[in-house]
């Protein structure tokens, strides 16, 4: 596991409609190595927290019980990483 300087774009959407989107300039110091999980599920991970994002930052309040979070990270050397997951409000 490693960290890198770069830009992360975080997008929160519901039914293909973007509720929130922001780009963050990150440095290696924004990441931290920590342990998550318990018992057999305990593992080391590298986390970067974007903090709490209140509904007041959304373009509109969600109308469904689920949405999607997409994150794209591009390192200063140009390598791109991305991920997406379902969230429950």
Report whether 12 contacts 21 (CB < 8 A): yes
Q: Kindly list the domain boundaries of the chain, sorted by start residue.
A: 6-88
Per-residue model confidence as pLDDT tens for the chain (89 residues) = 678 999 999 999 999 899 999 999 999 999 999 999 999 999 999 999 999 999 999 999 999 999 999 999 999 999 999 999 999 98
6-88 is classed CATH 2.60.40? yes
pTM (predicted TM-score): 0.85
Q: 79-84, long-range: CB within 8 Å, 24+ apart, which pairs?
A: 79/4
Q: 52-55, long-range: CB within 8 Å, 24+ apart, which pairs?
A: 53/12, 53/20
């Amino acid at each position: 596991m490693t960290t890198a300087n770069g830009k992360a774009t975080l997008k929160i959407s519901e039914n293909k409609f973007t509720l929130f989107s922001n780009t963050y300039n990150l440095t290696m110091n924004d990441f931290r190595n920590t342990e998550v999980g318990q018992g057999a599920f305990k593992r080391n991970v590298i986390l970067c927290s974007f903090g709490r994002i209140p509904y007041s930052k959304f373009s509109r309040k969600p109308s469904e019980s689920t949405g999607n979070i997409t994150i794209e990270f591009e390192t200063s050397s140009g390598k791109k990483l991305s991920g997406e997951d379902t969230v429950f409000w």
